[in-house]
Amino acid sequence: MKKKLIPSLIASVILLSVGSQSAFAIKGAGDTRDTAIPLYLHSTRTWTLDSFNDEDWFKWRNDTGSTKYVSASLQSPVGLNYDIWGYLVTPGGEYTLNTGENGPGGLEGLGTSLNPGDTIYIRIKPDLFDYSTTQQYEFKFDAN
């Protein structure tokens, strides 16, 4: 009986470790607008902010050939207050999109239309000195 259990246990450990993605922030990845992490439709990210001045940047370019409505939401960790900002870049200029202040643990979101060729950059950062290296925020992005 024990001989059959060991291969199953080894297989389980391998399956759990292969293909899993760390839910914590990757230092240096997406920390500036120039290194923004590309987004895909129907994306959800759960990451941490590792200092009071850490920022996570994401971007999506509308290469679909038609106008798309994008939405982004940020669920701050319980007791912490994070902010989400959008920067819409079009041939006519750049526009800043911000959300209302919903306080610690609050849900914030933004939405806008993107014409073909437009790009949106999204920045997530702590409000003042609120951050946690262990509590994760949840960021969702979609375009329809």
pLDDT tens by residue, 18-50 = 333 334 445 566 888 999 999 988 899 998 998
Whether 56 and 78 have beta carbons less than 8 Å apart is answered as: no
pLDDT for 130 beyond 70 = yes
Chain Cα centroid distance, residue 36: 10
* Dihedral sign for Cα atoms in the order 76, 80, 81, 87: negative
pTM for the whole structure:
0.78
The C-alpha torsion from 41 through 46 and 51 to 55, rounded to 10°, is 10
Cβ–Cβ contacts within 10 Å for residue 55, how many? 16
pLDDT in tens, 71-123: 999 999 999 999 999 999 999 999 999 777 778 888 999 999 999 999 999 99
Rounded Cα gap, residues 97 and 60, in angstroms: 15
Residue with tokens 């290194």: 35
Rounded Cα gap, residues 60 and 142, in angstroms: 10
End-to-end CA, the chain? 53
Rounded Cα gap, residues 85 and 73, in angstroms: 10
